[in-house]
């Protein structure tokens, strides 16, 4: 107490002796604009704050959570996109986010607007290129934020100024703009950012000119599709707000065509600049035209190589300070830590890829007949033999049954079958109507003389099958579900017969756990840009528009698709893409394949307007009978399950709707726009709810 008193008395004496000086100066513990905005070091801190709250979607994003920067139960492609499934409640259609991206967005917009309004006061402190770059960063953040809001809500309040508080209501309140005005603002801000930013990022992880142009191309594709494909939804997907009369979703009947053409043109132009000037290229460090193993390994490596010439915008992590948990939740059951199987690719997703025999309807062939209810199961010496001709890209994205991961064979088995061969299909009905049927309901499992053995769980609950090896004549034993499942009462293993490989750490020495992963996440890469250019080119061709830069639209699109396919080890196009809906669908399908598990597909399905039943024919980017996997209300996805035949010593596969922790999804036109947070609507005289809510 004595020392504290001395300090207090000394403070009073000092204050009394120089009262004027202390009153004229701000307290030393308050950081001022002068401290932050007048120098590079301060601006580095300011930008770090903005970028840390950028609404990026990586390992720490899932549709269930929203933008919460939370990697708990980390999974990819599980928002009813058909890419993957998982056991938890987080596996649901992308119709809302638990934390709506609204309030956080306006905080970030204020940061960007504040920099734009106040940095000019200190312009003389910086060389012109760096001063412009700082302004460009603010425009990029603002564009990125408006883009994130627009694709969720349509028209949003276009807050492009700092709103001081307290203030009059007419100053504080900003109504929702029309959807067209909102996309125009996104376009203007990305253009301004690209104009001001440096060609190369002075700080890793921040935007440069080509980052802005790449995201502009993506955003304008979204805008063009909304303008065009809202018209294909029954009754036209548009409407005005009750409070303001503004067209907050959709486009006016008289403007949508011109708007869609303009946005597709801007998407194409932006992508072409990145392609011709950016210096990026597809990753091919280990690629070989004649070695499929090299093609596979090349695509495995490219997602962790920070020196890749394909990387345009990357979210970096570094253990132990900045980490995520994709390996802790989405790895194979053998390596669970603490969980596993969070991202289980579907058979429907596999059917997008080359390298499999097909039935006449295009589905993957597992029997000798013309459908999976006809003929007998095809037999394979090993599970991997089934995938012998699969695209190397697919193998880089998905762990097949019997493949190697982290130096271990991943032992996936639906069950063990002990009856004689040939083997008839386990069920007589594989249609959507019978999708609730499970293997434990089959006659082979329920009959007194059981011939199908399954495991309900792992560990001591595993069922062991004794049999005579037909090759050696020796007694043998086998776990019914292998070490990696599926287990029909435990969703912690694969629930589709497949595991995610893409982005997982392949190092055998790495032990997964919560907050132990530090792989980077590529938010934008050169393949994205090629696909953006191809899609925009086809859309412009369909609309009868000429090339905005003099290039041949169809040739650019065809070359882009073939370049991606060549790197992937896929079959090249035999000729030019047709300037038709068929050509558009070829591009969409390629996009689905290449960008899977990268938080792209859920947005693509929304902008193409193909998730509701009437539009679901286009869900896969290829001709598929939507009634095979859906009803007028719901839809489901299938797994691919290997079974071991003890009589033959071989494996057979069954294509069946997911039978562990069953997931059924529904999606209607109302879901193409998220609801505006009800609290925001209730408290504001000018914020309109969606017209159809």
Q: Which tens digit of pLDDT belongs to each residue from 493-520?
A: 999 999 999 999 999 999 999 999 999 9
CB within 8 A of 78, min separation 6: which ones? 62, 63, 84, 85, 86, 90, 91, 342, 343
Query: pLDDT for 184-226, tens place per residue?
Result: 999 999 999 999 999 999 999 999 999 999 999 999 999 999 9
Average pLDDT of 403-416? 98
pLDDT of residue 31: 82
Average pLDDT of 637-647? 98
Is the pLDDT confidence value at 19 over 70? no
pLDDT of residue 88: 85
Is the distance from CB of 310 to CB of 281 less than 8 angstroms? Answer: yes
Query: Any idea how long the chain is?
Result: 693
pLDDT of residue 436: 87
**Binning pLDDT at 50, 70 and 90, where does residue 26 land?**
low
**What string of DSSP letters covers 321-382?**
TB-B-HHHHHS-GGG-SS---S-EE-HHHHTTSSS--B-TTSSBP-BSSSSTTSS-B--BSS
The strand pairing partners of 651, in sequence order, are 380, 644
pLDDT of residue 183: 99
Q: Indicate the DSSP class of residue 18.
A: T
pLDDT of residue 461: 85
**Binning pLDDT at 50, 70 and 90, where does residue 28 land?**
low
Is the pLDDT confidence value at 16 over 60? no
Q: Report H helices in 373-450.
A: 392-397, 443-446
CB within 8 A of 364, min separation 6: which ones? 347, 350, 351, 356, 357, 358, 640, 655
pLDDT of residue 17: 41
CB within 8 A of 100, min separation 6: which ones? 66, 152, 674, 675, 676, 677
Average pLDDT of 143-155? 98
Is the distance from CB of 243 to CB of 553 less than 8 angstroms? Answer: no
User: What are the φ/ψ torsions at residue 303 (nearest 5 degrees)?
Assistant: -85, -5
Other C-beta atoms lying within 10 Å of the C-beta of residue 118: 13
Average pLDDT of 90-101? 96
What value, to the nearest 5°, has the Cα angle with vertex 641 and ends 488 and 360?
A: 140
Is the pLDDT confidence value at 654 over 80? yes
Is the pLDDT confidence value at 167 over 90? no
Is the distance from CB of 237 to CB of 249 less than 8 angstroms? Answer: yes
Query: pLDDT for 423-478, tens place per residue?
Result: 999 999 999 999 989 999 999 999 999 999 999 999 888 999 999 999 999 999 99
What Å distances lie between residue 535 and 4, 54, 94, 107, 542, CA to CA?
71, 27, 23, 34, 11
Is the pLDDT confidence value at 5 over 60? no
Beta strands in 491-568 (DSSP E): 499-500, 521-525
User: What are the φ/ψ torsions at residue 675 (nearest 5 degrees)?
Assistant: -70, 140
pLDDT of residue 532: 98
Q: Which residue has the tokens 């699969």?
A: 390
Average pLDDT of 320-343? 96
pLDDT of residue 673: 98
Is the pLDDT confidence value at 644 over 90? yes
Query: pLDDT for 561-590, tens place per residue?
Result: 999 999 999 999 999 999 999 999 999 999
Is the pLDDT confidence value at 356 over 90? yes
Q: Say what the pTM is.
A: 0.94
**Binning pLDDT at 50, 70 and 90, where does residue 11 land?**
very low
Query: pLDDT for 236-281, tens place per residue?
Result: 999 999 999 999 999 999 999 999 999 999 999 999 999 999 999 9
Other C-beta atoms lying within 10 Å of the C-beta of residue 318: 9
CA dihedral defined by 250, 254, 255, 257, rounded to 10 degrees? 90
Lowest mean pLDDT among 167-176, 290-299, 370-379: 167-176
Other C-beta atoms lying within 10 Å of the C-beta of residue 500: 26
pLDDT of residue 166: 72
pLDDT of residue 13: 31
């Amino acid at each position: 107490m004595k020392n504290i008193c001395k300090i207090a008395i000394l403070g009073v004496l000092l204050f009394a002796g120089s009262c004027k000086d202390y009153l004229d100066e701000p307290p030393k513990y308050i950081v001022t604009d002068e401290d932050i905005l007048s120098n590079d070091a301060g601006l580095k801190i300011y930008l770090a704050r903005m970028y840390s709250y950028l609404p990026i979607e990586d390992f720490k994003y899932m549709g269930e959570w929203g933008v919460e920067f939370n990697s708990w139960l980390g999974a990819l492609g599980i928002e009813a996109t058909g890419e993957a499934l998982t056991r938890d409640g987080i596996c649901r259609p992308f119709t809302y986010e638990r934390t709506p991206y609204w309030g956080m967005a306006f905080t970030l917009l204020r940061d960007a607007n504040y920099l734009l309004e106040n940095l000019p006061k200190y312009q003389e402190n910086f060389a012109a290129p760096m001063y412009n770059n700082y302004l460009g960063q603010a425009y990029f953040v603002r564009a990125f934020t408006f883009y994130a809001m627009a694709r969720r809500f349509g028209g949003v309040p276009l807050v492009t100024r700092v709103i001081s508080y307290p203030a009059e209501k007419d100053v504080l309140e900003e109504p929702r703009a029309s959807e067209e005005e909102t996309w125009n603002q996104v376009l203007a801000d990305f253009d301004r950012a690209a104009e001001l930013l440096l060609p190369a990022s002075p700080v890793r992880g921040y935007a440069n000119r080509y980052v802005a142009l790449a995201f502009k191309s993506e955003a304008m594709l979204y805008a063009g599709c909304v303008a065009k494909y809202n018209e294909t939804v029954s009754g036209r997907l548009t409407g005005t707000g009750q409070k303001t009369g503004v067209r907050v979703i959709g486009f006016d009947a008289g403007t949508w065509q011109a708007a869609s053409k303009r946005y597709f043109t801007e998407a194409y132009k932006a992508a072409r600049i990145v392609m011709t000037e950016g210096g990026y290229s597809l990753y091919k460090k280990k690629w070989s035209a004649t070695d499929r193993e090299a093609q596979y390994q090349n695509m495995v490596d490219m997602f962790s190589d920070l020196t890749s010439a394909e990387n345009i915008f990357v979210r970096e992590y570094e253990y132990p300070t900045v980490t995520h948990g994709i390996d802790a939740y989405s790895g194979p059951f053998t390596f669970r830590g603490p969980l596993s199987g969070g991202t289980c690719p579907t058979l429907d997703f596999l059917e997008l890829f080359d390298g499999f025999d097909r039935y006449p309807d295009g589905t993957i062939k597992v029997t000798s007949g013309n459908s999976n209810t006809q003929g007998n199961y095809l037999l394979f010496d090993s599970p991997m033999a089934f995938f012998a001709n699969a695209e190397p890209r697919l193998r880089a994205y998905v762990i097949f049954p019997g493949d190697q991961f982290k130096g271990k064979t991943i032992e996936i088995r639906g069950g063990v079958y002990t009856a004689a061969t040939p083997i008839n299909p386990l069920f007589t009905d594989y249609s959507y109507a019978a999708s609730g049927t499970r293997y434990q309901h089959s006659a082979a499992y329920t009959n007194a003389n059981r011939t199908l053995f399954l495991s309900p769980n792992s560990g001591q609950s595993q069922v062991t099958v004794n049999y005579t090896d037909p090759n050696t004549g020796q007694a043998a034993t086998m776990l019914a579900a292998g070490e990696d499942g599926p287990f029909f009462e435990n969703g912690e293993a694969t629930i589709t017969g497949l595991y995610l490989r893409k982005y997982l750490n392949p190092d055998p020495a790495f032990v997964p756990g919560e907050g132990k992963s530090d792989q980077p996440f590529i938010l934008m890469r050169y393949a994205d840009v090629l696909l953006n250019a191809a899609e925009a080119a086809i859309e412009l061709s369909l609309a009868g528009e000429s090339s905005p830069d003099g290039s041949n639209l169809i040739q650019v699109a065809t070359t882009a698709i073939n370049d991606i396919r060549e790197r992937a080890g896929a079959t090249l196009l035999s000729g030019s893409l047709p300037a038709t809906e068929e050509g558009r669908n070829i591009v969409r399908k390629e996009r689905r394949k290449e960008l899977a598990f990268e938080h792209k597909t859920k947005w693509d399905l929304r902008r193409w307007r193909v998730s509701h039943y009437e539009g679901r024919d286009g869900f896969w980017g290829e001709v598929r009978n939507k009634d095979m996997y859906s009803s007028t209300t719901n839809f489901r996805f299938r797994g691919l399950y290997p079974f071991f035949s003890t009589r033959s010593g071989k494996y057979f596969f069954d294509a069946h709707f997911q039978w562990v922790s069953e997931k059924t999804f529904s999606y209607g036109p109302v879901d193409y726009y998220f609801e505006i947070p009800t609290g925001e609507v209730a408290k504001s005289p000018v914020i309109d709810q969606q017209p159809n809510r």
